[in-house]
């Protein structure tokens, strides 16, 4: 049995996913990341969508605070 995918939601920031990630965008284009941990944009401001480029920091004062919500 493989390990469950671990996801960390950052308040006012990205979704961090541990392990390989494939994101399919609204146009059906698939984006693959093989990084150990990938930051997926949740704010919509990234110029590297679907990946986070740090632009969320400009949107929210105080920066992100990571909050562990569990595994899926
Ligand atoms: S969550 Fe970081 S740029 Fe959108």
Mutate-to-test residue for ligand 1 from 16, 49, 52, highest number of ligand atoms within 8 A of CB: 52
Give how many domains the chain has, as a whole number.
1
Query: Does some domain include residue 16?
Result: yes
Query: Does some domain include residue 67?
Result: no
DSSP per-residue string spanning 48-68: TTTB--STHHHHSTT--EEEE
Mean predicted confidence (pLDDT) in 3-26: 93
Query: Does some domain include residue 70?
Result: no
Domain that includes residue 28, residue range: 6-60
Mean pLDDT, the chain, whole residue set = 85
Give the nearest ligand 1 atom to 13 CA: 1
Residue 4 CA, ligand 1 centroid: distance in Å: 24
Whether residue 47 contacts residue 56, with contact meaning beta carbons closer than 8 Å, is answered with no
Query: Does some domain include residue 32?
Result: yes
From atom 2 of ligand 1, which residue's Cα is the shortest distance away? 52
Residue 36: predicted pLDDT: 96
Q: Which residues contact 3 (CB under 8 A, 6 or more apart)?
A: 19
Q: Answer yes or no: is pLDDT of 69 > 80.
A: no
Tell me which H or E stretch contains 58.
helix 56-59
β-bridge partners, 24: 30
């Amino acid at each position: 049995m493989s390990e469950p995918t671990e996801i960390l939601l950052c308040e006012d920031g990205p979704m961090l996913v541990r392990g390989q990630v494939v994101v399919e965008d609204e146009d059906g284009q698939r984006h693959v990341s093989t990084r150990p941990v990938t930051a997926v944009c949740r704010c919509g401001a990234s110029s590297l969508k679907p990946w986070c480029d740090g632009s969320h920091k400009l949107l929210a004062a105080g920066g992100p605070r990571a909050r562990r919500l569990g595994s899926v």
